[in-house]
Chains A and B, each alone.
Chain A
């Protein structure tokens, strides 16, 4: 059943409406699971998962106990404009939580989203990377919530589970807000901005079914991948551009590299020169890779996870 989570009038003959697809199982009482995506208008990877998951559940509705709420577009204006944030606002929607039901449209939207999801047995918040990167699929877990989230994160069929430190801006995210309210929320990052990576999306769909099964809500089939690797901040090395130009990668995402191996070059088309060779700082696997060629000094080109084969 399609339900409205939030609605407000836009200036010219239109309403901003955030909807969810509530899928109620016929297998009896069970948990409520929320799957949210589209909080950034340029993160479309979750669209495929929302589509695929709803189809899987409908096909075997008798195997579902409880409720799965799918929110495919928390930021419909951003998606319509392919913008990261909410058009007309300078702010990132995922930096406005917990919101304020008496505040402006953005704040009221954030508050309505939290009110709707709060109390779910688990929530999966699907993102694509920003900063023009490609990333292997991963669950991002804030250190302070690791104890409650790690037992769930392993089910999602991602390649990594990355436990990262807490920073002040993260306190304004949907995931932090829900986790602080004891609604266990797992952030998934994968693929690429403005793209859909169907393979990763299919695996995540299976992973969400595994999570629902673990929580007692699914008796149908699901496919498991090998357990994800647990990563902490210290095991990842960042490779940045030191000169401006155009990055031409010489490897693919997921490649295992040797220390000193060339990851790519930074080219200067005007003078037809290679301005810099970008080398792997250590042996490991490239888990993030620059997707957009234009680079400035400081642009993140790659992340190398040490010791992964």
Chain B
């Protein structure tokens, strides 16, 4: 394992921003696989899961398990500057590095950071990002492929090699064009977002599950040696097939009764919306289909028209 500085930026009154990478296998050339952990300041789980992958690859390399000709680059935390002040976005201007790819070396600050990161991971055969979502809640661990072009179709088949409970595809929107995942695919990389359960707190079981999935993927794709085992035969579906359960006419406290991964029957109660002043039940959120819970909102307060649960129909 070699530790290298992928990008460095001088900042006012603090130590420079240093984006650190960990290199395994070959020392030269474009990475066979690049793995990125947190990109935003609150992605603690993503950084943690990725750090655990570094730890495991270190062991694999010590045992001679990195295949000849393979170079793996891992960037556990692409934005320590924001993590150290617990700011989801760039603290000085609120911009999101993961909306700035492929970046610009002469552009605005976060475009420079993005281009520094992308310069290290561009052209990788495989790109894996431990991602978080803008919906605040817990997820069923899954792999996600955003459809950008022809490369995405092949990626979707490959995503099954993670052997996570779910492989979700989705159409790219204009909002996606600045993401690392999108830029990777523009450069022909098979790009995957791996979601574990949480974002701003560590959930050890799902971080381990996500890390196992990445190691399984590397093994199945022939980048590392060793027996590939575990995981599940996941469900493959398009994001539009997920069934949303939302607060319709009420708001208040969400009293959740289920968690990601639970199998629920049609008509089963998933949560209660309680009045904020008298705790009376204002709405019962029930499963419109039989399925597995994919997403649960975990924040205590809910507004009207808010997605509280998403279900993978079975």
Q: Does A90 contact B (CB under 8 A)?
A: yes
Tell me the smallest distance from the CB of A131 to a CB of chain B, in Å: 6
Are A299 and B108 interface neighbours, CB within 8 A? Answer: yes
Are A168 and B177 interface neighbours, CB within 8 A? Answer: yes
Are A131 and B93 interface neighbours, CB within 8 A? Answer: yes
In the assembly, what is the distance between CA of A12 and CA of B253, in Å? 9
Q: Does A8 contact B (CB under 8 A)?
A: yes
Tell me if B's interface is mostly helix, strand, loop or mixed. loop
Contacts of A299 in B (CB 8 A): 92-93, 108-109
Contacts of A297 in B (CB 8 A): 9-10, 109, 112
The residue that B109 contacts in the complex, of A95, A105, A169, A298, with Cβ under 8 A, is A298
Q: How many residues of B contact A (CB 8 A)?
A: 39
Are B108 and A169 interface neighbours, CB within 8 A? Answer: no
Contacts of A172 in B (CB 8 A): 173-175
Q: Which residues of A (94-125) have their CB < 8 Å from a CB of B?
A: 95, 103-105, 108
Q: Which residues of B (278-309) have their CB < 8 Å from a CB of A?
A: 301-307
Given A8-B304, A9-B251: A300 and B174 interface contact (C-beta under 8 Å): no
The residue that A84 contacts in the complex, of B11, B88, B94, with Cβ under 8 A, is B94
Contacts of B84 in A (CB 8 A): none
Are A296 and B174 interface neighbours, CB within 8 A? Answer: no
Q: Does A19 contact B (CB under 8 A)?
A: no
Of all chain A residues, the one with the shortest Cβ separation from B99 is: A169
Are A171 and B174 interface neighbours, CB within 8 A? Answer: yes
Chain A 157-173 near chain B by CB (<8 Å), digits 1 or 0: 00000000000111110
Q: Which residues of A (131-171) have their CB < 8 Å from a CB of B?
A: 131-132, 168-171
Are A245 and B12 interface neighbours, CB within 8 A? Answer: yes
Tell me the smallest distance from the CB of B114 to a CB of chain A, in Å: 11
Are B178 and A240 interface neighbours, CB within 8 A? Answer: no
Of all chain A residues, the one with the shortest Cβ separation from B132 is: A90
Are A244 and B12 interface neighbours, CB within 8 A? Answer: yes
Given A104-B246, A270-B13: A300 and B301 interface contact (C-beta under 8 Å): no
Are A298 and B112 interface neighbours, CB within 8 A? Answer: yes
In the assembly, what is the distance between CA of A82 and CA of B301, in Å? 21
Q: Which residues of B (88-110) have their CB < 8 Å from a CB of A?
A: 88, 92-94, 96, 99, 106-110
Contacts of B302 in A (CB 8 A): 11
In the assembly, what is the distance between CA of A109 and CA of B140, in Å? 28
Are A246 and B305 interface neighbours, CB within 8 A? Answer: no
In the assembly, what is the distance between CA of A246 and CA of B11, in Å? 11
Are A240 and B108 interface neighbours, CB within 8 A? Answer: yes
Chain A 70-92 near chain B by CB (<8 Å), digits 1 or 0: 00000000000000100011110
In the assembly, what is the distance between CA of A131 and CA of B99, in Å? 15
Are A298 and B173 interface neighbours, CB within 8 A? Answer: no
Q: Does B271 contact A (CB under 8 A)?
A: no
Q: Does B250 contact A (CB under 8 A)?
A: yes
The residue that A300 contacts in the complex, of B94, B108, B303, with Cβ under 8 A, is B108
Of all chain B residues, the one with the shortest Cβ separation from A95 is: B175
Contacts of A9 in B (CB 8 A): 249-251, 303-304
Chain A 251-286 near chain B by CB (<8 Å), digits 1 or 0: 000000000000000000010000000000000000
Q: Show the binding face of B for A, using Cβ within 8 Å.
A: 9-13, 88, 92-94, 96, 99, 106-112, 134, 173-175, 177-178, 246, 249-253, 276-277, 301-307
- Show 7 residue pairs from A and B whose CB-CB distance is below 8 angstroms, ordered by the A residue: A9-B250, A9-B304, A132-B93, A172-B173, A244-B11, A297-B109, A299-B109
List 14 additional contacts besides A11-B303, A246-B12, A298-B110; criterion CB under 8 Å: A10-B303, A10-B304, A11-B276, A11-B301, A11-B302, A12-B252, A104-B307, A169-B177, A240-B106, A240-B107, A240-B108, A296-B11, A297-B112, A299-B93
